[in-house]
Structures are given as structure tokens and as C-alpha cells.
Structure 1
Amino acid sequence: MQLLYTIWCAIYFVLLYLILFPVQYVFLQRDEWKPWAHKVNYIWGRLFFFGIGMPIRVDYRYKPDPEQVYVFCANHFSYLDIAAMGVIVKNYYAFVGKSEVKHIPLLGYMFAKLHVQVDRDQPNSRAYSLAKSIRTLAAGRSIMIFPEGGIRAKHPPKMHHPFKDGAFIMAIQQQVPVVPITLLNNYKILPDTKKVRFHWYPLRAVIHPPIATAGLTQENVEWLKEETYRIIDAELTSKQTVIA
């Protein structure tokens, strides 16, 4: 049954995007239409989780203002995290993610048009992506990033430590709040293993209150990085957290 469920999730994921892509393609052709392309991703995510029978349970300890600019930072244990972030955060944002995604048919086209790419094999790529992210924030659009720098944790739910600096450099440079997000059980739903299998659990997440950066300088990057890590890690390791 688990194999059949995995096959259904994969087929439904692809078919749903094939149906929605023509609409998204139109919205990707002009910058002023791109927020609507982002909304297509939200609709895609909602329909996907509904179609696979997976409830989404988010503890909104803070509801992000759709008019405010943020740097959203979440733990990253599973490839499901990207789809999850697309439905639990409704703000208009750009992902910062690895450039390999651009090679995926259709999905890669959308990612290249809508988000910020990092090519880990190119020495100047991180500096370029940081500069582009800062310009994105300055233009009034939020950034979504996994500050672990990829799926690097060896023993989830323990995160990789330390976080990368980029998210916190850009937040301080633009004086925008950092919003920590804890993805509680995606690593149980879709583990990062060679044998790809979907497991059924309600998807659970926590959106924490923002950490203000007003008045901070680049000398405070280390503090901001560790504070964000502490907040997410405390939720992951709390004995009061029920994952079921």
C-alpha cells in the first residue's frame, strides 16, 4: 500500500502541474504578472495535498503581514519542504535554491523565472545569489531560504549546524525581520533516502514570531543566525511537540 500511495503521489503531482502550467506560463512572461504565477504555485500545492489526503496543520504563532517584507528561514530535511512552504506561507516570496532545479522540464523554467538560483559548483554564484536576494528584498518581495544550505542533517530532527550566513546578512542589510519556521515532520512523510516512499502523516509546521533586525549591523550576523537556529531547534526537540 505504501508503494501504491507513493506512485499515486508522484503521478498526481506531475499531472496537476501539467494542467496548471499553461496558465502559469502566461503569468511568467511579465514581471507585473509574476505574483499571479506565484499564486498558481499556491493553488498547485493546496490541490496536491488535498488530492493525496494529507491534512496541513500549521501553528500560526505569528501571521505574516502580506504587505510586509521578511526573510523566512526553515529547517530542511525533506524534498517535501518546498511544497510545504508554498502552502503554509501566503506572502509573495522568492525561494533561494540550487540551480539544478532548472534542468527539470517545466518546473525548472518556472523556478528560473520566479526564484533565485545558487550554483554550488561556481565560486561566484553565492555572491551573485546574495546580491540578487538583496535586490529582491529592496524591491518589496520576501525571501524564503533553508539556511542549512540544503538537506545536510545526518540525524533528523537534529539540524545541521551552523546555519549559512547569507539569510542573515541580507536581512540585516535590508533591516527586514527574520521569521523562523519549524517543519516538524516532513522528514517522516518523505524521508531523504534512496528508496523514495511517501508515508501518511498530517503535515505539521510552526510559524514563529519574527526576529527584528532594526538597528542590527553585520557584526550581529552570528547572534541572529544562532537565535534563529535556537528557536527552530527548540521546537523540533521539545518533548511537548506531538508528531502524529
Structure 2
Amino acid sequence: MLRAFSVAYWAFIGISCVVFFLGAVLVWLLTLPFDRRRVVLHLYSSAWASFYVYVNPLWRLRVTGRRLVPWHGPAVLVANHASLIDILVLFALFRPFKWVSKQEIFRVPLIGWNMRLNDYVPLVRGSAESIRRMMAHCDRLLAAGSPVIMFPEGRRTSDGELQPFKDGAFELAVRHQVPVIPIAVHGTRRALPRHGLVLRDHVDVHVEVLPPIEPHDDVSSLKALARKSIASALTAP
């Protein structure tokens, strides 16, 4: 039963993406002259992604602490990464951030094209040159007042345990002296495993925005504080 539902659900996403992408192009064209940060397009994209969460009868999503994510001004958002649907549920924050995501997703028809329209940031794992370009791109976004969001683990966890964090997000926060906002994402690994696309039974997903951490001059201590904050939230009863 779940296998048949999963096939129908992913087919629905594939077909409906055509309509949503055409809408994104229209929004992009209409707002390009005055919306340099592409805030309106990002909010449209947030509604697009969130639609797939809220229409899925197997998933129930709750977002807390949304007010801690700024509407205006730069910040670095960091979240744990356990499932493909982390991206969908984080869009439900409905705040004008920019994604840092692996370059392969930018090659996906419609969804990847929309990511380029939004000026999101591609990254090739393990490529020093790509990391340099990613950091420079994030520098420009933060300087323009746009928050950026990253998965500091670098890839999805394979066993559910929080992995070590990489330095990039915290180097940006220190360089620009902007807050780091940790986000704990609960329940997505149970909703969709790392390998395979068969959805699981009813799952409650919780996106929990945690108190901002003011920038330090020490990348290592800032990284440790952010990881501790997310780890504590994930293990709380």
C-alpha cells in the first residue's frame, strides 16, 4: 500500500512541478526590476515546497521558533540533515534565506532551474575551487542582507546520529559578524529513509528554530556551540 502511494505521490510531484515552475518564471520576470534579492520568488518557492508537505496525509509538520529567523538582515542558518525531505520542511520557515546545496540538485529539471532563478548557491563536495566559489557567493549574499542556510554535516546522516560539523558556515558568520541560528529538524529520517523513495507510515515532523548564537572570533567555539545546541534539542524528550 505504501509503495503504491509513494509512486503516486512522486508522480504527482513530477507533474505538478511543471505548473509551479511556469509560475516561478512569471514571478521572476515580474519582480526582477525591483526585487534584487528575489525575496518574492523565494517565498513563492517556499509555498511550492511546503505544498508537497501539507498535502501528504502521512506527514504532519510543526514549526516552532520561526520568529527567530530574520525577515531583514544577514544571518547563517544551520540545520541537521537526515532526509531528502529536510529541504521541503525547512522551506516552511517562510523566511527569505538562500540555500547552499549540492550542485547535482541544480541539474534537476524544473526544480534545479528554479534554484538558479532564486540565486541559490551550488556546491561540489570535495572540490576546493567549488568551495571557494561557494564562499564568495555567500559573501555577496550576506553583504546584500540575505541569510544563508547550510547543512554543516555536509551530507545526510546514515545512522541517525549527528555528524561532525564542517567549518564553512561558521567562517562566514565570523567574517561577517552575523548570528548563527541553529535549527533542529526532528522526524524526517523516519518519514523517508536515506536510501529509497518509499514513504513510511504517519510521522510527525518538527522544525525547531533555536536561539541565535552571536558571532565569536573563534570558528571552532562557534561551531561547537551550534552543534551542542542542535544535539541537545534532538535528544530532548
TM-score (norm: length of structure 1)? 0.88
What residue identity is the alignment partner of 2:169?
Answer: A
Distance of 2:106 and 2:8 partners within structure 1: 24
Question: Which of 15, 37, 40 is the matching residue for 2:44?
Answer: 40
User: Where does structure 2 lack aligned partners over 5 or more consecutive residues?
Assistant: none
Cα offset, 1:237, TM superposition: 1.9
Distance of 1:206 and 1:67 partners within structure 2: 20
Distance of 1:12 and 1:70 partners within structure 2: 35
Give the 3-state SS of the residue equivalent to 1:66 in structure 2.
coil
CA shift digits 1:153-203 (9 cap, x unpaired): 2310x1111x1111001011111111100011100001101x321123122
Equivalence for 1:237: 235
Distance of 2:122 and 2:42 partners within structure 1: 16
Quick check: 137-146 or 122-131, which moved more? 122-131
CA shift digits 1:1-31 (9 cap, x unpaired): 2112212321222233221111201333537
Quick check: 178-187 or 23-32, which moved more? 23-32
Question: Which of 51, 55, 61 is the matching residue for 1:51?
Answer: 55
8 A contact 2:72–2:146 mirrored in 1: no
Give the 3-state SS of the residue equivalent to 1:73 in structure 2.
strand
User: Where does structure 1 lack aligned partners over 5 or more consecutive residues?
Assistant: none
Equivalence for 1:104: 108
Aligned residues: 230
Equivalence for 2:12: 12
1:131-142 to 2 correspondences below 5 Å: 131-142=136-147
What residue identity is the alignment partner of 1:222?
Answer: S
Kindly, what percent of the aligned residue pairs are identical? Answer: 25
Distance of 1:121 and 1:10 partners within structure 2: 30
Equivalence for 2:198: 197
Give the 3-state SS of the residue equivalent to 2:203 in structure 1.
coil
Give the 3-state SS of the residue equivalent to 1:92 in structure 2.
coil
Give the 3-state SS of the residue equivalent to 2:19 in structure 1.
helix
Give the 3-state SS of the residue equivalent to 1:78 in structure 2.
coil
User: Structure 1 pair 32/165, CA: closer, same or farther in 2 (3 Å)?
Assistant: farther
What residue identity is the alignment partner of 1:127?
Answer: R
TM-score (norm: length of structure 2)? 0.90
Question: Which of 62, 81, 84 is the matching residue for 2:86?
Answer: 81
Give the 3-state SS of the residue equivalent to 2:94 in structure 1.
coil
Equivalence for 1:170: 172
Runs (4+) off by over 3 Å? none
Question: Which of 185, 188, 210 is the matching residue for 2:187?
Answer: 185
Cα offset, 1:231, TM superposition: 0.7
Distance of 1:188 and 1:227 partners within structure 2: 26
Cα offset, 1:150, TM superposition: 1.6
Distance of 2:166 and 2:90 partners within structure 1: 19
Give the 3-state SS of the residue equivalent to 1:202 in structure 2.
strand
Equivalence for 1:66: 71
Give the 3-state SS of the residue equivalent to 2:69 in structure 1.
coil
RMSD: 1.7
8 A contact 2:74–2:142 mirrored in 1: yes
In the alignment, structure 1 residue 147 sits paired with structure 2 residue 152: yes
Cα offset, 1:70, TM superposition: 1.5
What residue identity is the alignment partner of 2:140?
Answer: R
